[in-house]
């Protein structure tokens, strides 16, 4: 709305001369009327009043013109306020959406916390069950290891009267009794077949297949072992001329587990500089040096424990 237009229509004239002429003609009396002498002064007073009125109106118009920029600024501010109002509405809508999303997330977090708490309880229960099972498993493993050790011990006792001859090649249609007789002669043993229960080679394995001699008594076995120590350096060619010159050894018969333990003991002795490793009645024995105490190795853990103080001393 333009606040200038009504005032201009009511207060502002288009031409001052026409305005003066119009006022003067209206105020003049006709000829012959009384009071003709007062025409001029009344006309001057009217013109003066009209001039003041025009000045007043001009002042008002000037003020209106001065107010016009303010009105335009107000209109601009109103538009800006309208735009800001729209932005505020959008912002409120965005805030409402964010609040809704935050409430949703908060609910999900609460559900997650409850689920996590339940899972923690279940996990604690499962851990207790796992500990129980681990304890039972450890007990079962210990029992199994104990039973295996006992079984190993029994198997080794069954071999207490056995010896094995290593280094004799396997041939087709070989006569083991003849080979054993030849070996007995080489170590000065008068072989009595009644002292022998059985002669055989074990089933084929990845390693060599020694000749096993099962004797009737431990004393007979000890005789073979003692004579073999005296008569060292026997070659396969000495047993039979067609054999190569490979070394022949006569040892106590051992179970596979005991052979493995003997091998580990020899490797340990080589690394830790033990001078002596030997077998006596199926037992693995070690000695660091001449005159020192003899150590019996029953399990590979014994070697690990034996290495520990040596390593600490070296540090």
Instruction: Please name the residue ranges forming H helices in the chain.
Output: 5-11, 16-27, 39-158, 176-186, 218-230, 236-239, 256-272, 300-314
CB 168 within 8 A of CB 182: no
Identify the CATH number of the domain defined by range 163-253. Answer: 3.30.70
Output the CA torsion sign for 187, 192, 196, 198.
positive
CB 254 within 8 A of CB 159: yes
Report the alpha-carbon distance of residue 148 to residue 142 in Å, rounded.
10
Q: Provide the pairing of β-strand 211-215 with 283-287.
A: unpaired
CB 240 within 8 A of CB 165: no
- Residue written as tokens 């809704």? 100
Q: Provide the pairing of β-strand 283-287 with 295-297.
A: antiparallel
pLDDT of residue 237: 93
pLDDT of residue 148: 87
pLDDT of residue 205: 62
Domain edges within the chain: 1-26+40-125, 163-253, 254-315
pLDDT of residue 211: 94
pLDDT of residue 37: 44
Q: Could you report the average pLDDT of every consecutive run of 10 residues in the chain (315 residues)?
A: 45 47 46 46 58 82 82 80 80 88 90 90 92 91 88 91 93 91 92 89 77 93 93 91 91 92 94 92 92 90 79 43
């Amino acid at each position: 709305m333009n606040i200038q237009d009504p005032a201009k229509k009511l207060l502002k004239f288009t031409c001052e001369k026409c305005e003066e002429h119009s006022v003067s003609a209206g105020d003049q009396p006709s000829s012959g009327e009384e009071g003709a002498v007062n025409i001029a002064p009344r006309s001057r007073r009217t013109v003066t009043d009209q001039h003041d009125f025009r000045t007043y109106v001009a002042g008002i118009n000037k003020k209106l013109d001065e107010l016009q920029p303010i009105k335009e600024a107000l209109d601009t501010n109103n538009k800006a306020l309208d735009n800001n109002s729209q932005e505020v509405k959008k912002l409120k809508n965005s805030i409402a959406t964010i609040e809704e999303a935050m409430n949703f997330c908060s609910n999900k977090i609460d559900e997650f916390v409850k689920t996590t708490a339940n899972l923690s309880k279940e996990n604690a229960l499962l851990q207790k069950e796992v500990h129980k099972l681990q304890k039972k498993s450890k007990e079962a493993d210990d029992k199994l290891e104990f039973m295996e050790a006992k079984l190993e011990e029994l198997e080794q006792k069954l071999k207490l009267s056995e010896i094995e001859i290593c280094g004799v090649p396997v041939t087709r249609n070989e006569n083991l009794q003849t080979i054993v007789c030849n070996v007995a002669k080489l170590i000065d043993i008068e072989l009595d077949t009644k002292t022998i229960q059985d002669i055989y080679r074990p089933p084929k394995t990845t390693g060599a297949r020694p000749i096993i001699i099962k004797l009737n008594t431990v004393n007979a076995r000890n005789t073979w072992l003692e004579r073999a120590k005296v008569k060292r350096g026997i070659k396969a060619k000495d047993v039979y001329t067609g054999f190569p010159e490979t070394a022949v050894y006569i040892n106590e018969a051992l179970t596979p587990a005991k052979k493995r333990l003997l091998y580990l003991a020899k490797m340990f002795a080589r690394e830790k500089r033990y001078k002596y490793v030997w077998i006596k009645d199926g037992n693995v024995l070690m000695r660091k040096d001449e005159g020192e105490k003899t150590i019996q190795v029953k399990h590979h853990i014994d070697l690990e424990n034996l290495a520990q103080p040596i390593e600490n001393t070296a540090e």
